[in-house]
Chain A
Amino acid sequence: MSNTDALIKNLVEKHGNSRNNLMPILQGVVREERSLTEEAMLKVAEALDISSAEVYGTASFYTFLDTMPRGKNVIRICKTITCHMKGKDEIIEALEKELNINVGETTSDKKFTLLSANCLGWCHKGPVMLVNDDIYPELTVDKALEIVQEYAHNSK
């Protein structure tokens, strides 16, 4: 049994195999693997006894249920108006340069994916970014670089 199969089996056992539990199961896979592969979605469909189209339909609707391969750490920089006003463009530019990728791309070592996101709910403390589930408000270019370097160091 592959790692993904075991993960899905555990998640289905934990949450139950009813349709209502599709989201927590998909969220559980993304938490561990950062994205949903075709195999994973087929497996979930089988476990919940629903069509794989239903699983893909749900997964592809939600921004955080990625169906594209993602890096070990997913960075989401808020691009909505107040973070825009407070300088999110400079943060994005600096991180693009640091990671040597553009927004929407993943580093070749698969450590980082850089994305922009709609309002993250920290408008009074922008600019702000999420790295995986962790939030980093009141960013400066230096602070953002330091945070990303720390993640790079910790995921060696």
Chain B
Amino acid sequence: METAEAKNFKKVDIIFECQDCKPIEVLDTNLERKPDDIILDIIDSGLKGRGGAGFPTGLKWKFTKNETAEPKYVICNADEGEPGTFKDREILDRVPEKVFVGMALCGYSIGAKEGIIYLRGEYNFLLKDLNKKLEKFNKQLKDRNLDFSISIKSGSGAYICGEESALFESMEGKRGEPRNKPPYPTTEGYNFKPTVINNVETLVYTTMICNLGPDKFKELGTKDSRGSKVFSVSGDTPIAGIYELELGMSLSTFVEEFGDGDTKSVQVGGASGHCVPRKYFEDTIIGFEGIPTGGSMMIFNSTRSMYNVLHDYLEFFTEESCGQCTPCRVGCQQLLKGIEAVKRGERKPSYLDDLKKLASNMNLSAKCGLGQSVANPFNSIVDNFREEIIY
């Protein structure tokens, strides 16, 4: 496992902090700067995407700015569908102006005139309030002569649309089926034009980096995982909820704070993430050098059957697979049927090893992150809780 030294547990208050930061003032201060200087600050901060994949945000902005095609777009990915994740909803509910300012600063930096928030249909109840606040914000942009405006498009209940190219397809009125990559969104995104697509939380951090300066942000976290991150904590914990924590802590420190004293395993990164059993808590670092995460931390205690957990995940993926590529469409179904057959005794326990090979093949051959990542929960649960799957 990891050899890097873990940071101590530290609560942070950047995302939801409202006392000293007036988002619109951050915009005003930064509109006086050159776009390239803003992008350099974001690169310098080391900020990596907070949706889970972890691409350096500043580079995304730079690549898109360097493209010559017009128009360019700024998209906020608010299609938060990963089981165990609920922080983007909270951010949009509590500090939406920080998201808007991040989008406006991105638009100013890369030369885009249009920003769009793709909000999952499950969060439609936020629409009324968000639209009202957007109306005010768009007017503020107009008053400042900034040629940029933000609107919202809604999803309709498809997990796969959180995948960026599926999200573009959905915004174009099509089935949410992922595209081949490359080309990447920075060259051909929404409407096949250069597009920056960032997660809700990432955009708030860009606002806060523009406010605090990159050095303040870099003081937090580790070399590979700069800054803090909002975690969604759920499952067997007495204090489920949303917490902003410094990156780079060990899982044992995390469990000490959030577990119920009987924690058997933690699913880090949602259904598509990794299941870490107790024996590895000490050696697992939460961050890009260990297990990266979009922020979902699901805690299971010893009363839980890991067969049921895996079964739930596989059902989820079987239903949410877009069906476009065979490895994912058929693979998910076969993994689900496979563990059911082993459980019923219709297949020998060694069949699990065949299924693991299938999962690994899906990791190599599936078209997008959905099919590729099913191997994460499958192999980590089967490896660590084999008896629970069989008996």
Shortest CB-to-CB span from B319 to chain A, Å, is 6
Question: Judging by beta carbons under 8 Å apart, are A63 and B157 in contact?
Answer: yes
Partner of B320 from the list A22, A118, A120 (CB cut-off 8 Å) is A118
Partner of B234 from the list A26, A63, A124 (CB cut-off 8 Å) is A124
> Which of B58-66, B122-130, B346-354 lies at the binding interface?
B122-130
Question: Judging by beta carbons under 8 Å apart, are A125 and B173 in contact?
Answer: no
Q: Could you say which interface size class chain B belongs to?
A: 35 or more
Shortest CB-to-CB span from B247 to chain A, Å, is 21
> Which of A80-88, A98-106, A145-153 lies at the binding interface?
A80-88
Give the total number of A-B pairs whose CB atoms are below 8 A apart.
Answer: 119
Question: Judging by beta carbons under 8 Å apart, are A121 and B158 in contact?
Answer: no
Q: How far is the CA of A125 from the CA of B211 in the complex (A)?
A: 33
**Hey, which chain A residues are within 8 Å of B320, CB to CB?**
118
Question: Judging by beta carbons under 8 Å apart, are A61 and B176 in contact?
Answer: yes
Partner of A119 from the list B84, B174, B191, B309 (CB cut-off 8 Å) is B84
Which residue of B is nearest A134, CB measured?
B125
Partner of A62 from the list B157, B172, B232, B319 (CB cut-off 8 Å) is B157
Question: Judging by beta carbons under 8 Å apart, are A62 and B83 in contact?
Answer: no
Q: Which of A80, A121, A130 has most chain B Cβ within 10 Å? A: A121
Which residue of A is nearest B86, CB measured?
A121
Shortest CB-to-CB span from A124 to chain B, Å, is 4
Q: Is B240 an interface residue (CB 8 A)?
A: yes
Q: Is B156 an interface residue (CB 8 A)?
A: yes
Q: Is A24 an interface residue (CB 8 A)?
A: yes
Question: Judging by beta carbons under 8 Å apart, are B89 and A121 in contact?
Answer: yes
Shortest CB-to-CB span from B172 to chain A, Å, is 5
Partner of B156 from the list A27, A126, A134 (CB cut-off 8 Å) is A27
Q: How far is the CA of A65 from the CA of B82 in the complex (A)?
A: 20
Q: Is B313 an interface residue (CB 8 A)?
A: yes
**Interfacial residues of chain B within 106-144, with CB under 8 A of chain A in the complex:** 120-125
Question: Judging by beta carbons under 8 Å apart, are A81 and B176 in contact?
Answer: no
**Hey, which chain A residues are within 8 Å of B241, CB to CB?**
124
Q: Lowest 6 CB-CB distances: which A-B pairs, in order?
A: A22-B173, A63-B157, A124-B240, A62-B156, A123-B234, A64-B157
Q: A118-B83, A133-B124 are in contact. List 7 more A-B contacts (CB 8 A).
A: A19-B172, A61-B175, A61-B176, A118-B319, A119-B82, A123-B234, A124-B232
* Chain A interface residues (CB < 8 Å from chain B): 19-24, 26-27, 30, 57-58, 61-65, 80-82, 84-85, 117-126, 130, 133-135
